[in-house]
Structure 1
């Protein structure tokens, strides 16, 4: 199978997975719901004259405030693209795993892994391209002209690209970890909790400043104007460090996937 056909097959496979729809829904609907709540609260405060100076009232800021939640969707997408290969089929279907048929159709393992990684990139980028503008649009519709826009077009673009990059790198890290585990349970639980409930890396910064060099902490400033932890790396160095982490994990995952039995 040619590289193009392998990539197209992986795209079709990912698009038909129920978990892919769940991941997109988590990113889009979850972020939209948070945006609605934030925007309604801000509009009520503005109409009542209770909005304090410096409070979050800019439509873009209100919509963008929910964007980090979409990282969970990126994690689910990254995990699903690989973990689906190792999920056992039903007894009626022979009880085997998809990975056997996949390798029979595309025996070049590195090419297959590259096609899957590109699938993660495209899926996460497409989700970000829909979710972030929708959140900002919701905020604009709710707030209306009650508050002026304080973020310029160039900054909007930079922060949109930064968030999309963070989502994409996170999805690829989740994908690489799933290659190691050959199961989606461990990476899904750990990375989802780390992205939404409590950041283990953030806790480690209280123990050692070296924790700022871990991938999620290094790239956190890609979200731009959102409140972040003091210290650590600036936006560009942090993005480079996170990208290096991602490339390193993908390289190790490729070596593992190429050498071990299916």
Structure 2
């Protein structure tokens, strides 16, 4: 098959998978929940900052710039990214209702797109696009909300030690979006390997929001800093308070290597085993 035909086939598969992912109720709820939840946290934080400013507490730890106040809610998006990455695959293996024959969507998907590696690439690209779009909307909305609530009371800075320039703001926002994206791809790969959404959702959501198993492991061995979530944590910039570990660029490369490696393994497994 010629290269143009391969690219056209990949594009068609990608568009079909993107449409499927976007229309999944769980992925839509994850994207909307990320936006609404992050905005809600930002509003609470911003009113706290505004109250501190009104009470004359300029320069205290309770006072943050509009960017820092809005950006503080960004880690919540990691949970949404996990959900999107998981359901993009787990929905294929969920049993349909008895009225629909009780089968699984994966058989229909493979009938329409029998090239499994191409199908997995299309799914990964669809997940990546949805997560990037969610980040591109959520982060600016949170920062804008913080700015509207805090207003000019702090001059947009709220203390010279918390000043964030446009370059840093863009870099940190891009870093957060990259972290979300790589987390979603890791979740997708793990779900392909398990063929179930339950284990990846429980483990990855818990690790991202409640108890970081990787962080606990750093107290046992410094090698835990090379695990994907710990390696990439500095992509969030000033929000990372854990000492030691990798710097931003090496950490991002390690996290990307984990995502690429797991996707490669998932591709091999997906191509060789029965549906």
TM-score category, normalised to shorter length: over 0.9
Task: Give the corresponding residue for 2:236.
Answer: 223
2:74 equivalent to 1:61:
no
User: What residue ranges of structure 2 are gaps of 5+ in the alignment?
Assistant: 1-7, 158-162
Kept after mapping to 1: 8 A contact 2:53/2:63: no
Kept after mapping to 1: 8 A contact 2:92/2:106: yes
2:131 equivalent to 1:124:
yes
2:43 equivalent to 1:30:
no
2:252 equivalent to 1:245:
no
- C-alpha separation in 1, matches of 2:263 and 2:233: 20
Q: TM-score, normalised by structure 1?
A: 0.98
- C-alpha separation in 2, matches of 1:195 and 1:218: 14
Q: How far 1:16 sits from its partner (Å)? A: 1.2
* Segment drifting more, 144-153 vs 116-125: 144-153
Q: How far 1:252 sits from its partner (Å)? A: 0.4
2:98 equivalent to 1:91:
yes
Query: How many residues are aligned here?
Result: 262
Task: Give the corresponding residue for 1:199.
Answer: 212
Q: TM-score, normalised by structure 2?
A: 0.93
Kept after mapping to 1: 8 A contact 2:27/2:84: yes
1:133-153: CA deviations, max 9, x gaps?
000011001100111332101
Q: Secondary structure at the match of 1:88?
A: coil
Alignment RMSD (CA, Å): 1.1
User: What residue ranges of structure 1 are gaps of 5+ in the alignment?
Assistant: none
Kept after mapping to 2: 8 A contact 1:42/1:51: no
Task: Give the corresponding residue for 1:74.
Answer: 81
1:203-239: CA deviations, max 9, x gaps?
0011111100000000000001214200000000000
* Segment drifting more, 54-63 vs 164-173: 54-63
Structure 1 outlier segments of 4+, above 6 Å: none
- C-alpha separation in 1, matches of 2:165 and 2:58: 21
Kept after mapping to 2: 8 A contact 1:78/1:171: yes
Q: How far 1:54 sits from its partner (Å)? A: 4.6
Q: How far 1:189 sits from its partner (Å)? A: 0.9
Q: How far 1:51 sits from its partner (Å)? A: 4.4
Q: Secondary structure at the match of 1:2?
A: helix
